[in-house]
Amino acid sequence: MQVIRTNRELQGLADAERGAGRRLALVPTMGALHAGHLALVEAARRRADRVWVSIFVNPTQFNDPCDLDGYPRTWDADVAACSAAGVDAIFAPAAAEMYPDGAETTVEVGSLALPLCGVARPGHFQGVATIVAKLLLAAKPHVAAFGEKDFQQLAVIRRMVRDLGFDVEILGVPTVREPDGLALSSRNLRLDPEARRQARVLSRGLDAARLAVAAGERDAARLLRLATDEIAKAPLAAIDYAELRDPTTLAPAPATLGGAALLALAVFFGPAAGAARHPDTVRLIDNCVLRPTPHPLEVDPR
């Protein structure tokens, strides 16, 4: 398994592999790899001859310096996990490689980047779109895999790829969860034991709304209340947002659901959950798509 540090080296390898007729897959990550990332690798492997993982904690998508400083970095464990998963190469550039001195070009996606995390984290999706564009240009993959837990991020990337004409398939992979329902996230490593226990209310809130829809509930306000009531049972939780949105456009869902709706949650956990910049506060996101009419191919991953 190769470890590549520069754009030029990765582009050269991509040209050679493409010239040999091989399909390439990229799994962009910020490290602190877990089973969710490895599910992306597995899904990518089914669509490509070579799978590459990028590991780069992207500074431009953090609007909170405490969040950037506290983001877990587990290089040795990440390399071991990639090796065990059969990854062919890791792209691990320095910040100066991706953002050379004087760099001022960015990529900004329009309406999809405005609600939800766009409100809570100004500039976040500009940073995401910019770094993903750079990674796609460096790796030249045929397919790139992203997790559906970051639903808005996936939507933004798909729109960017479509609008700018990137020749790449964007593959969405279902959320991987712990046995108790908590969505796997690198940020989970920062939860203390009690906050980790209470974080289960995220998936319980989603489940409450999903079960209500299955029982015939269509009122958006009541569905949101079911989710937030579950979260309110956790003393260490403070809701950043809980919203119902159109899963394609991310426009607000109607008052009475007539079709699929994204239930998106973002919640702070910790002893100072109301203070977003407190170093012990951890912000987690989760989501599910509520379907008043069951989707024939939908299977709950749990």
Q: 143, 173 in Cβ contact below 8 A? A: no
**Tokens 């489940």 belong to residue:** 207
| Ramachandran bin of 163, using left for φ above 0, alpha for ψ from -120 to 50, beta for the remaining angles | alpha
DSSP 290: E
Query: Which of 47, 44, 33, 49 is closest to 82 using CA atoms?
Result: 33
DSSP 112: G
**3-state SS assignment for residue 268:** strand
Which residues share a beta bridge with 265? 242, 286
Please calculate the CA angle 252-254-260 and round it to the nearest 5 degrees.
85
**3-state SS assignment for residue 111:** helix
Q: 268, 281 in Cβ contact below 8 A? A: yes
Write the CB contacts of 219 (distance below 8 Å, at least 6 apart in sequence).
255, 256, 257
Using alpha carbons only, how large is the chain's radius of gyration in Å?
19
Residue 3 corresponds to which amino acid?
A: V
Q: Which is the catalytic residue, given 34, 37, 124, 142?
A: 37
**3-state SS assignment for residue 5:** coil
Rounded Cα gap, residues 59 and 37, in angstroms: 20
37 is catalytic: yes
Residues annotated as catalytic are 37
